[in-house]
Amino acid sequence: MSARTDIASESALLSGAASLSGVKKQQERCESALLDITRIEILSDDAAEKVGKPKGRYLTLRSLDGGFDSEPGCFNERARLLAREIRALLPEDLGAGVLFAGLGNRLITPDCIGPLAADRILATRHIESRALERLGELARVSVISPGVTAQTGLESAEVISLISGRIRPSAVIVCDAFACAELDNLAATVQLSDTGISPGSGVNNSRAEISQRTLGLPCIAVGIPTVADIAAVTDDPAVPKGMIMTPGRIDTVVSRGAALIALSVNLALHRSLTVDEINSLVG
């Protein structure tokens, strides 16, 4: 595989693993949300090695209307669908709460989707438990944006491990910008997985892994591909190797993509709240 990617459906396709023993793949379409949905489950170590992704469940939802730089009438329906899928990957019992980590560099537009999403997550851990009970089905949620190593001198994995080790949530959700190898996925796909993440792996800047294996807690990863390897669109030897590309509309993509992810996470965690109520609380 010449082009780098964080997207499991691309890895499965490019490695010929769609029919590989140990890989399950299902596809469907949701017309009301204008999304194509691909589900991949990697079941064996052998399949994981060939696909280049850890064992686990992966879900990609690709927009049928061109990408996340627009605000379609089905925005709320997309958020509800994504919320159901997030909830399906989380433990049934979230009594100990959830830690949401928005990964990435807020100062670099293609890399800021995690911090922007974190800005819109409804944090509730500071609210007294009895008050949460009176408010309905609200989860205990903590939110952090750990920055990047070049800014802090710390790995995001270190920060998340230290905090989760102290507060011991039921699960961790990490949100980050991804890289893709197919232009149809660029700025137009949300990927969910229960395998965690190695930040920067799609652009050859892999940092420490954040996963259930390293944290000892269920770890859900969610993100949108905001960059693509130049090898995805050309094999011209005159083009320098290792370059990546991003859409000209990337500022709108990350803003609206982060809003979609945040609303989905809020709906998944705070099940008694409506879309309007969430929007009024997070601004």
Q: Identify the sign of the CA torsion 101, 104, 105, 108.
A: negative
pLDDT tens sequence across 150-181: 899 999 999 999 999 999 999 999 999 999 98
Split at pLDDT 50, 70, 90, the class of 16 is low
CATH code: domain of residue 252: 3.40.50.1450
Q: What is the mean pLDDT of the chain?
A: 89
pLDDT at residue 199, rounded to an integer: 67
In a domain, 1, yes or no: no
In a domain, 3, yes or no: no
Strands 98-102 and 56-63: unpaired
pLDDT tens sequence across 91-108: 999 999 999 999 999 999
Element (H, E) at 226: strand 219-229
Residue 50, pLDDT above cutoff 90: no
State the Cα angle at 195 between 32 and 100, rounded to 5°.
Answer: 75
- Give the C-alpha separation, 15 to 147, whole Å: 33
Split at pLDDT 50, 70, 90, the class of 130 is low
pLDDT at residue 202, rounded to an integer: 47
What domain range includes position 236?
A: 8-282
In a domain, 2, yes or no: no
- Mean pLDDT within 24-35: 93
- Give the C-alpha separation, 176 to 266, whole Å: 17
Per the model's pLDDT, the better-predicted residue between 124 and 202 turns out to be 124
Q: Please answer whether residues 100 and 121 qualify as being in contact, where contact means their C-beta atoms are separated by less than 8 angstroms.
A: yes
Give percent above pLDDT 90 in the chain.
Answer: 68
Domain count, the chain: 1
State the Cα angle at 207 between 216 and 114, rounded to 5°.
Answer: 80
Split at pLDDT 50, 70, 90, the class of 206 is low
Residue 21, pLDDT above cutoff 70: yes
User: From residue 250, how far is each of 108, 134, 182, 263 by CA, in Å?
Assistant: 11, 41, 17, 20
pLDDT tens sequence across 264-277: 999 999 998 999 99
Structure tokens at 73: 């009438």
Split at pLDDT 50, 70, 90, the class of 2 is low
Residue 14, pLDDT above cutoff 80: no
pLDDT at residue 1, rounded to an integer: 43
Residue 257, pLDDT above cutoff 90: yes
pLDDT tens sequence across 176-190: 999 998 889 999 999
- Classify 196 as helix, strand or coil: coil
